Amino acid sequence: MSKILVIAEHLDGKLNSSTARAVSAASAVKGEAIDVLVLSDAPEAVAAEAAKIEGVSRVLTVARPENAHPLAAVLAPQIAKAATGYSHVFAPSTTFGKDVAPRVAALLGVAQVSDVMSVEAAHTFTRPIYAGNAIITVEADAAHTVVATIRTASWPAAPSGANNAPVEALTVDAALPTHTRFVELKQGSSDRPDLQSASKVVSGGRGVGSKENFDIIYKFADRIGAAVGASRAAVDAGYCPNEMQVGQTGKIIAPELYMAIGISGAIQHLTGIKDAGTIVAINKDGEAPIFEIADFGLMGDLFKIIPELEAALGA
């Protein structure tokens, strides 16, 4: 029977919702146990959150001062040790999981399945290649541990609240390297919803024209309670910071409502949004590819349309 170890992603003492999505994927394996591993200098609060996620059997914590920051070179040897006895090791396919999981896989001497979209059987998965232009079915060797990253946009977050899984402290005997040191994390300070988990996202593209003009996007997003995203073109042009990029090499998201404003819709961008519930496109170019996949398209000047939308929303 399968036993799955899910690596928790967390920051500033809070569990990232990507973890609950990875738990959903773990549930789809239909194994006998799903344990969540929390590596931190102070894992208590994160572990308590993880224990509430439905489907979680146990939460295992490794408390070490070296785990204060998520350095793959430091975490991977501990995860590889903790993985003993598990058939699967899952991590969310976020920059955290993408960084650490392959290092774990290599330490275990196994391949990794990246960006799992569906679990067809305990060792059979689907995943996207070529920016999602093809979906492959891959079979992992059942004789080895499967290391996989979970494409968060393909999985709902497992519900939280009803469960009360036991939390157990784990001691792992792993020598940790000192060759990699955390310096700093510069986070975009924002009171807006988190882009990766928001139910509504408003994104701006090259058509917005400048960093100053992007204010109209922020303002509209705030009006409807949405997170703000951007196309690669907008990030490259310096209109907004890198963490806002949506697409093949940025964030892959699946909000209920996605509004693409001034975004032409390069295939690499569409990859990041195709699991959205409803896609709205606003663009002055009626031939823009974004209209090919939008549920609702509105052709015209965004600087005229956004105030009209705000007016139509009423007081």
Partner 1 sequence: MKILVGYKRVVDYNVRIQVKPDGSGVVTDGVKLSANPFDDIALEEALRLREKGIAEEVIVVGIGPADLTAHLRNGLAMGANRAIHVVTADAVQPLTAARVFLKLIEKEQPGLVILGKQAIDDDANQTGQMLAALWDRPQATFAGKVEVADGKAKVTREVDAGLEAIEVDLPAVITTDLRLNEPRFIKLPDIMKAKSKPIDSIEFGSLGVEAHDHLKTTQYAAPAKRSKGVMVKDAAELVAALKQKGLL
By CB under 8 A, the residues from 18 to 47 that bind partner 1 are none
Pairs from 183-191 (Cβ < 8 Å, separation ≥ 24): 185/69, 188/241, 188/243, 188/244, 190/228
CB 32 within 8 A of CB 116: no
CB 52 to partner 1: min, Å = 23
Cα distances from 101 to residues 29, 147, 161, 221, in angstroms, run: 18, 7, 28, 34
Figure out which of the listed residues 32, 41, 139, 215 binds partner 1, where binding follows CB under 8 A. Answer: 139
Q: Which of residues 149-188 bind partner 1 (CB under 8 A)?
A: 177, 179-188
Q: Does 144 bind partner 1 (CB under 8 A)?
A: yes
Figure out which of the listed residues 41, 141, 168, 285 binds partner 1, where binding follows CB under 8 A. Answer: 141
Q: Which residues contact 281 (CB under 8 A, 6 or more apart)?
A: 259, 260, 263, 265, 288, 290, 291, 294, 296, 297, 298
H-helix or E-strand containing 59?
Answer: strand 58-63
Q: Does 292 bind partner 1 (CB under 8 A)?
A: yes
- Segment near partner 1 (CB under 8 A); pick from 34-42, 53-61, 207-215, 303-311: 303-311
Q: Which of residues 52-71 bind partner 1 (CB under 8 A)?
A: 71
> What are the structure tokens assigned to 45, written together?
């609060």
Separation between Cα atoms, residue 245 and residue 115, nearest integer Å: 18
Q: Does 114 bind partner 1 (CB under 8 A)?
A: yes
Q: Are strands 124-129 and 118-121 parallel, antiparallel or unpaired?
A: antiparallel
Q: Does 106 bind partner 1 (CB under 8 A)?
A: yes
CB 163 to partner 1: min, Å = 26
Q: Does 236 bind partner 1 (CB under 8 A)?
A: yes
Figure out which of the listed residues 36, 62, 75, 110 binds partner 1, where binding follows CB under 8 A. Answer: 110
CB 273 to partner 1: min, Å = 10
- Segment near partner 1 (CB under 8 A); pick from 29-37, 99-107, 162-170, 206-214: 99-107
Cα distances from 82 to residues 1, 62, 108, 122, 172, in angstroms, run: 18, 9, 11, 20, 7
Q: Closest by alpha carbon to 41, among 84, 19, 12, 83? A: 12
Cα distances from 159 to residues 64, 75, 125, 148, in angstroms, run: 29, 27, 23, 21
Figure out which of the listed residues 128, 204, 205, 207 binds partner 1, where binding follows CB under 8 A. Answer: 128
Separation between Cα atoms, residue 8 and residue 67, nearest integer Å: 12
Judged by CB, which is closer to partner 1: 32, or 194?
Answer: 194
Figure out which of the listed residues 200, 202, 234, 246 binds partner 1, where binding follows CB under 8 A. Answer: 200
CB 156 to partner 1: min, Å = 17
- Segment near partner 1 (CB under 8 A); pick from 48-56, 159-167, 206-214, 232-240: 232-240
Q: Does 274 bind partner 1 (CB under 8 A)?
A: yes
